[in-house]
Amino acid sequence: MVILWTDGLIFTLVLAIAISVGMMLRKPHFKRPLAKITQSKTSMVSLVILLCFAGVGLLDSVHYKDSRTGEIISLLDHVAKPLTEQTERTYSAPFSAYLYSKEMIIHDDGREKWDYPRLKYGAAHLDNPAQQKWPDILSKAAIGLGKGVLLALLLYLVFWMIRGRKSAEPYRPASKAALLTLFAIISLFYMLAYLSHWYHVLGTDKVGEDVFYQTLKSIRTGLVIGTLTTLMMLPLAIGFGIMAGFFRGWVDDVIQFIYTTLNSIPGVLLIAASILMVQVYMANHPEQFASVLIRADMRLLFLCLILGVTSWTGLCRMLRAETLKVREMEFVQAAESLGVTRPTILIRHILPNVMHIVLISVVLDFSSLVLAEAVLSYINIGVDPTTYSWGNMINGARLEMARDPVVWWPLSAAFLFMFTLVLAANLFADTVRNAFDPRRAEHG
Amino acid sequence: MTHQMMSSFLSVKMRIQAWFFYSILFFLTGCEMAPLNNPYREVPPGVSVLYSSFAERPKHLDPAKAYSSNEYTFIAQIYEPPLQYHYLKRPYQLIPLTATEMPTVTYYNQQGQVIDGKDAGQVAYSDYLIRIKPGIQFQPHPAFSRDEQGRFLYHHLNAEQLDATDALDDFEQRGSRELVAEDYVYQIKRLAYPKIQSPIAGVMRNYIAGFAAFANAMKDQPITTLKAMPLEGVKATGRYQYRIRIKGKYPQFKFWLAMPFFAPMPWEADAFYAQPGLIDKNITLDWYPVGTGPYYLTENNPNRRMVLTKNPHFHDEFYPRTGEAGDKQNGLLADAGKKLPFIDRVVYVLEKENIPYWNKFLQGYYDASGIASDSFDQAVQFTGAGDARLTPMMREKGIQLQTAVTTSVFYLGFNMLDKVVGGYSEQKQKLRQAISIALNYEEYIAIFMNGRGMPAQGVLPPGIYGYQDGRAGIDPFVYDWVAGKPKRKSIAVAKRLMAEAGYPNGIDPATGEALTLYFDTASASVDERSRMNWFRKQFARLGIKLIIRATDYNRFQQKMRQGSGQLFTWGWNADYPDPENFFFLLYGPNSKVKNGGENAVNYENPEYDRLFEIMRNMDNGPERLAIIQQMQHILRRDAPWVFGVNPKSFSLFHSWYKNIKPNLMANNRLKYTRIEPDLRTQKRYQWNQPVFWPLLLIAAVLAIAVYPAVRAYRRRLQETII
Amino acid sequence: MIQYIIRRVAYAIPLLLAVNILTFILFFVVNSPDDMARMQLGQKHVTEQAINNWKHQHGYDLPLLWNAEKSGLEKLRQTIFYQKSIGLFLFDFGISDSGRNIGHDISERMWPSLALALPSLIVGLLVNITVALMMVLFRNSYLEFGTIVLCVILMSISSLFYIIGGQFVFGKLLKLVPISGYDSGLSAIKFLLLPIIISVISGLGSGARWYRTLFLEEVEKDYVRTARAKGLSEVQVLFRHVLRNAMIPILTGVVVVLPLLFMGSLIMESFFSIPGLGSYTIDAINRQDFAIVRSMVFLGSVLYILGLLMTDISYTLVDPRVRLS
Amino acid sequence: MAEPLLQVKNLSVSFQQDTVVDAIDFDIYGGESFALVGESGSGKSITALSVLRLLPNNANIQADSIALKGQNMLTIPEIDFCRWRGRRIGLIFQDPMSSLNPVMTIGAQIAEVIRLHFTLKPADIEQRVLELLQQVEIPAPERRMQEYPHQLSGGLRQRVMIAIALAGRPELLIADEPTTALDVTIQAQVLALLKKIQQQTGMALWLISHDLALVSNMADRIAVMEKGVIVETAPSTAFFKQPKHPYSRKLLAALPDIRHCLGKTATPSTPLLQVNDFKVWYPIHKGLFKRVVDHVRAVDGVSFSLQQGKTLALVGESGCGKTTLGKALLNLVPATGGRVWFDGVDLGQLSDEALRRKRAEIQMIFQDPFAAMNPRMLIADIIAEGLQALRPEISAEQRRQKVLHLLEQVELPASSAIRYPHEFSGGQRQRICIARALAVSPKLIICDEPTSALDVSVQAQILRLLQDLQQQQRLSYLFITHDLAVVGEIADEVAVIYQGKIVEMGAARQVLTAPQHPYTQTLLKAVPELKVT
């Protein structure tokens, strides 16, 4: 069991979320919005999707040293071992039995022919792909789907066992939708997984790695960027924001000065410089970064850090403004007249009343961060080129789009997954905002 | 900027008309029309313009500083050294350019008597006497322009003159003058001048007599004093002839004489550019060259494009009448004896990404192109015999393919100072040999270079004297000769070598774990990942665990200098077609760590060094060849490099592109090329017919999307309570 | 008013100083002057001598922040930081490490950036407002819902997809526009058409939603009810009252970014090889040309601060309630 | 009787599930002034808005008919109906500030209506605007036309609103709480103006208000609304003589009355709070270096003393500095000058810590019970907060007991301890606030308009509660209010504040019955008397 930096942080984050949700469930002023969220179909569906992504991400965050190769791999790698091992020479289309580029084939009889060679693994079990392929795919898909459905039903049974007693009447329609999505996802995913034993369901990339595997791996990167960054920035934003708003005077001036300075530096330059810095550090301390994975992980973490540093100012400003409002509220004055000390007032009166802003902005930032990762990777100041990420995939895809015939699947795959994640995140964020933002309580 | 605004406003009127024309036209008919996607402005008919590109702006256009290929693409067309390589003849052959004939070399011994110089040891110094053609004129340039009294117009610019100028074109007076030997001498002085920081100053001070002394003398003199100050070893012995004195014997020097470093530089240029205030407007010798070549730089906006225009004063030079066998059939002698150059103008457009470049090439907006590995399948296929030819699609476009094995080598180096991979003991040799076998460069070439390259068998690439192909030329430690082909030894052999080297199955007895090696790389691009994965796999086959350490180029170089690296890939591109230019990469005294030389692996083998010292001063001949063979063998045994790849360059040319012959030494090829503009125009029309219906479709969809809104609004207006 | 501006300008100076120091430190933690020299001098035959020459010529042979040898003020003056910073404050950016005059380059590259950014901004603004107004006009109807969903979808697509897709379809397949490049004057139009459209579309999702919320906030207000009570029709209400009030945050929001338009857009410019400041910056980063990077950071901060100032002023112009003090 | 101008038959309005207006009928006749009275949330405003179709889309309106001059409005399509608004039915809203477009000059806002409904030449329009402004008695109309709402005082704004409403020469003018946001004196003026205009133009006036006293002076007929139902409709004279419906009676009974002060007898007692030449000034910064050029004198040299177990009422209009004074006494706002003795101690001399504890003996009850409690905290915690802060030594259990005791004192069920503020009505919240104040067993409670946000009936209860508490624990109140009627109910002594200074002070009955200072007199005149003839 190896725990990388990001892994550790992710698990702490998960823990934190679990706890805070638990606490929120007890607080009625959270209960209402939460109820609102759980009642909306879209939010529940997107939540389920997000959770599924998160599941994959977590699976990919449990690392251990593989006894055989001594490489550090994650559970996901373990599950997807066949995918990692079945690498072709180069591109091949989804479900294809042939390589995507012609090359010299030397037949057994020594004849040489310039043609598309068969794949080493993809559809290798067929001896005459031309006729057999599609029937085979369909049948296998059917089997896979069937198994998937069974699995899903099984899960349902367990699920029902657990919470069947206290049936959640009010949430009926939404939870039904959620369960349906879950059902669909599980069975479809299982089908794909099943098929990928025989085929490259999303094709292979330039060096013949399975694109399906890459996209799965990319999920973790996206999630880490989206979540850890906020984790990094929250303390800064909340601390400074509230203090500036509450104490005003010189404290306010100093904090404002700090974030104006940070804001006025073009973010890209800041990020670029910092990333360079990490590389220098790694170059000077190679012993600490024994394996590619660790190096990449370090860089990823640092990227989150620096993104956090560049992005806390926005939230900070909002919190400051809100605090300025809240501190004028009469209950704060009442507390003062009751002789409550200022720190207590900060914690007990100010913080809880600005928390909804934090929540909203966190959820909103998530998607934009996931998108930002892609852009940064394009300018080579994103994640380490050896880490799987949608950004890197898109980056490669630029070249592939120039080919003729076009290599469309890596781009499409990245697009599909990224789009699903971000869309889900956005929809969810919307409902969260509508639920928690007092101003938007009335209209959608 | 004001300038470009002006030009833009001038072009406004006609543009508007054009746009209206297009827009009207396409809604009426979809028929034949001027391509909308033409990135260039129209050129007057009859003027033949060549379109090319540059990925990164050249750092220097000063022949004393420029050293990289992207700089040479420009200055080699502008500056003329005394010698050049024959365009058609192979093996590469030096011929006079501005010189009347090849320089005459006389050798002297200590006592100063003339000797034949057979024995390099005897030679104290050798004189190169060069005669240049009279009547050669410099390009038009304000630095030369004088008033009727013969005083220089622009050598003492005053304030308002400076304000008036934004680019070089703003000096309306342009003069010229005849090229004299003194200009060549002056340029060599510039090489020595410390402030200019010529990259070859370090090399030349070892050869040209008095070079070092001159450099020291000029340490803090202003550049204007350069003219007066004499340089002992270099003297103009007449208006049209000058002499260069070389310490000892240095046969390779004649190759230097074909490089822009030794092109003439008029002192007026320095005098002109030295004026304060010009540099603030980016008017420096680095951006506005002054040469005698077939072309001169008329527009230099490294942010967008650079334009070479035919030099009106260009001296008589003619297309070669003779070539090697087969040139006639290939039509390479069609223009024999015609006056050079053929093309009126060359436009280099800034193009960072190679995708747009490739697409524009296919659309006919670039005349020539390399092949990015991603577009390779689209362009090229291999026939049964394993040789490359164009795909049908390309052929029907009439595109021509040209291939050549470059005189360069990409190798994987072992840092010989390293404890694990370095050292000269039997075992270390075996370890390195094992790795050499395991790294299957055939596969590498197939995957990452689409077969554009051949596995290197030694230090020397093909086309360099001393290279042998066939059985004699293979690396016996890595290859066997099977069925008339070199065949890489099996992985089993490598494993055995590993065992003998003390790492059975790659297990390091010291740790008991798999042997861990570190691979340093400078680049961090995305496709690098797959390359690194490949390397990892290859090493894994020996049970070696490879760890990639990617940093930026600076760190990488630093590592190299400190010798803290272990494995790394690097390449070398020939300066001149002589084996010395490759063998010196492993010459002990050139060690990077010790002397900051080019010997990056810090290889040091007394025997090899001895042979090298003999070899480098010899003229080509059987005994030189013999020594070269010995050296090759030593290297193959010690295996300080895994001799990686000699890349093959594939380039594509459109049908209107004439006189194509690969020439890796000559970089002033431009003057020989000819294009047929009419053919090009016609093809462009044919290839770039815009497609409009999707636009209409989109419009329709939008309309449909908006319609319900309108209807809903109508309904809203009519609604009542009950 | 004047006094206010003066105060703000005075406030900007320590800000810029801080920015400058920060970038300076960030950069020199990363690479030493020697690295820079090597970077610029190229790879073949680089001698120590040459490096020292280069450092001397570009003034990198001084200590970074503190010169121990010198005495008194010179301790501060004779440092790279002082020498390099002082010019910036006079907007004399000096010579780049690769030997070109930065000020000149900036003044040249500014215009393409502007030619791309300004139209994108204006067109984007118009489109966003129209869509947003439409949503508000049909609020609580399936139409609004549909548009919101569309917006969310647009938002969820990475801008890279838009660019790649756009180039592929319009440039390569339909051959309607040049794939990339730039030209001065009106001939720039055909190069800019695609980038502008793309940036508008990619900005549409978030923009329209944001404006919608602004409009909705206004629609809730009492004076809108008054306007209805006056007898204005829905459309009149929207255009005469809601739009006008909502324009205040919108306009001021736009004003903030106005100056920054000069900085250009990194991605767009490098994809369409438009010779603007955006690509200039990217190149500088990749070439580690500190002089340029520093100048651009400085310029960026100046423009940002200018933007803030302009925002405050524009408030007083568009909103009668606001007074500066 | 003549055919009614506006006839509403069986009108119901509902949002989603809950019905806010339930099958009401009423008529309004030409030229009369009709008042719809009810407490907040009774659905009176909704009724008006629904008639004009100004409710948000999610409102569901049903009615047999709403007819103007016998013309059923329900069947008129929106596009035509919006021509009626402003033209045939004018509307005045409660809050003149937010009801005016902040970025348009008032001239433009009035002109808009005219341009909309009449085809006039620009010059004529301007002329008409002037007329209107004069009609609503706005001084210097030419100048005002060019000004923006924020440059006008509340009264003027409301006049502008009226002008806008009148601009269309409507047959019916709906005034929705037209004066609630205004000070007493202004209120009187505005009402007078409305009356006058109604007589001039002979249009019908539909007045919507919660203030029976006010209505009694204005309306010819009165309809009382309770929870969406009209419980009683009667001519005002009849109504005030003897209301039929119990709810009406309750309302009337709850009305505070100045005359109660007559019953008060001054029993001397020891002074608890003594304030001497108390000042609260806000600096005005100007210039490059933000020099202080002048001060806003919110409270300017106030001196008074409050006796143990008594109530001193600080009366004044909004912005006169009474609230500032209260907060300054609590040190929520820094005082600029003056001295304060609180039962014998000079607060100026105390160290911060001692001050903090001493100050706890002075507590405050705020105007807005909704803002006065942290919505994120349980009632128990809210009440116990002061105890925790000042007496950390007492155990949680004791604290719980104390809290329950307090709740009982303010007549709230013990169960409310574990609930959250939003679950309570305004009145209950105010009780909780009182409990919170009592928790630290103060000697003095500053009540800042404690009842002005409440309905009359609730107001009465709170006042009673306060009085009871005073009896039980000899509390002293510093009662800040603008409502003289309330003063009459509760105060022993009255201090009238005008522009930061006390202009008149004395025993309640004396000040209220025989005011000396002219300002006090105008105040008293302005108070709407319940007309019972």
B527-582 confidence digits (pLDDT tens): 677 788 889 888 988 889 888 877 777 778 778 888 888 999 988 888 888 999 99
Q: How confident is the model at residue A443 (pLDDT cuts 50, 70, 90)?
A: very low
Best of C30, C34, C44, C149 to substitute, by most chain B Cβ atoms within 10 angstroms, is C44
For residues B5 and A433, what is the distance between their CA atoms, to the nearest angstrom? 49
Return residues 332-351 of A near D (CB < 8 Å).
Answer: 333-341, 344, 348-349
pLDDT given at position D125:
93
CA triple C261-C265-C269, angle to 5 deg: 125
Q: Is B382 on the interface with A (CB under 8 A)?
A: yes
Continuous H helices in C187-258: 189-220, 222-230, 234-236, 243-257
The whole-angstrom separation of Cα B424 and Cα B603 is 9
Mean pLDDT of A138-157: 87
Structure confidence by residue, pLDDT tens digits, B196-245: 888 888 889 889 999 999 988 888 888 888 888 899 899 999 999 999 99
Mean pLDDT of A167-195: 79
> Shortest CB distance from C232 goes to which of D98, D116, D150?
D116
* Residues of A (19-78) whose Cβ lies below 8 Å from D: 27-29
Cβ pair D375:A339 closer than 8 A: no
Task: Say which amino acid occupies C271.
Answer: F
Interchain pair B37, C177: CB under 8 A: yes
Distance from CA of C19 to the nearest CA of A (A): 6
Residue B547's nearest CA partner among A423, A386, A425 is A386
Cα(B318)–Cα(B86) distance, integer angstroms = 12
Please give the pLDDT value at position B51: 92
Q: Quick one: pLDDT at residue B129?
A: 94
- Look at D376 and A29 and tell me if their CB atoms are within 8 Å: yes
To the nearest whole Å, the CA of D389 is away from the closest chain A CA by 5
Mean pLDDT of chain C: 84
Whether residues A339 and D433 touch (CB distance < 8 A) is answered with: no
Is the CA virtual torsion B292, B293, B299, B305 positive or negative?
Answer: negative
Q: Look at D332 and A331 and tell me if their CB atoms are within 8 Å.
A: no
Cα separations (Å) of A94 from A122, A137, B447, B645, D235? 9, 12, 20, 33, 85
| Residue in D62, D73, D78 nearest the CB of B719 | D78
d(CA B545, CA B506): 8
Closest CA to D162 of D194, D116, D129, D204: D194
Read off the pLDDT of each residue in C253-272 and give the average, rounded to a whole number: 82
**Amino acid A147: pLDDT:** 87
pLDDT at B382: 77
C55 vs C83: CA distance, rounded Å: 13
Parts of chain D with a pLDDT under 70 = 1, 265-266, 287-290, 531-533
C220, C225, C226: best mutation site toward chain D, by most D Cβ within 10 Å?
Answer: C226
The interface pTM score, or ipTM, of the predicted complex is: 0.81
The pLDDT of residue C46 is 65
Q: Which residues of A touch B449 (CB under 8 A)?
A: none
Share of chain B above pLDDT 70, in %: 94
Q: How crowded is residue B135: how many other Cβ atoms within 10 Å of its Cβ?
A: 9
CB pairs under 8 A between B and D: 26
Chains A, C: CB contacts within 8 A come to 116
Angle (CA) C34 C36 C42, round 5°: 100
Q: Is the pLDDT confidence value at C182 over 90? A: no
Q: Are D374 and A353 in contact (CB under 8 A)?
A: yes
Q: What does the pLDDT read at residue B8? A: 37
What pLDDT shows up at residue D367? 84
User: Which chain D residue lies closest to A356 (C-alpha atoms)?
Assistant: D376
Return the top range by mean pLDDT from B119-123, B484-488, B622-626: B622-626
- Report chain D residues whose CB lies below 8 A from the CB of A353: 374-376
For residue B317, what pLDDT is reported?
92
* pLDDT score at C196: 93
* Distant-in-sequence, close-in-space partners of A177: CB < 8 Å, separation ≥ 6: A41, A44, A45
Residue contact C275–B304, C-beta within 8 A: yes
Instruction: Sheet with B114-115: list strands edge to edge.
Output: B114-115, B104-108, B125-131, B241-247, B234-236
Between positions 33 and 92 of A, the ones with CB within 8 A of B are 70, 89-90
Interface contact flag, A384 B525, Cβ < 8 Å = no
Q: Are residues B676 and B83 in contact, defined by beta-carbon separation less than 8 angstroms?
A: no
How sure is the predictor about B523, in pLDDT bands with cuts at 50, 70 and 90? low
pTM, two decimal places: 0.83
Chains that touch A (3 or more CB pairs under 8 A): B, C, D
Do residue B712 and residue C138 have CB atoms under 8 angstroms apart? yes
**Is residue B144 scored above 70 in pLDDT?**
yes
Task: Pick from A23, A29, A330 the residue to mutate for testing the D interface (most D CBs within 10 Å).
Answer: A330
Closest-CA distance, C4 to chain D, in angstroms, reads: 7
Return the number of other C-beta atoms located less than 10 Å from residue B509's C-beta: 9
Two tokens at B639? 């295996």
Q: What is the pLDDT of residue A164?
A: 61
d(CA B127, CA B208): 10
For tokens 């015999």, name the residue: B385
As beta bridge partners, residue D226 has D229
d(CA D47, CA A56): 56
- Chain C residues lying within 8 Å of A415, measured CB to CB: 157-158, 161
Between A and B, how many CB-CB pairs are < 8 A?
A: 95
Residue A113 has pLDDT above 90, yes or no: no
Q: What is the pLDDT of residue A383?
A: 85
Residue C66 pLDDT exceeds 80:
no
pLDDT at A172: 67
Query: Closest by alpha carbon to A391, among A215, A202, A204, A206?
Result: A215
Between CA C288 and CA C284 the distance in angstroms is 6
Instruction: Note the pLDDT tens digit of each residue in A309-368.
Output: 888 888 999 999 999 988 888 889 888 888 888 888 998 889 888 888 888 888 888 888
The whole-number pLDDT of residue B381 equals 81
Give the residue ranges of DSSP H helices in B570-651.
580-583, 592-595, 606-616, 622-638
Say how far apart CA C245 and CA A69 lie, in whole Å: 67
The pLDDT score that the predictor gives to residue C127 is 94
- Is the bond into B91 cis (omega within 30 degrees of 0)? yes
Give the pLDDT confidence score for residue B108 in this predicted structure.
92
Q: Among candidates D509, D506, D515, which has minimal Cα distance to D265?
A: D509
pLDDT digits 0-9 by tens, A8-65: 999 999 998 899 888 877 777 677 778 888 888 888 899 999 999 999 999 999 988 8
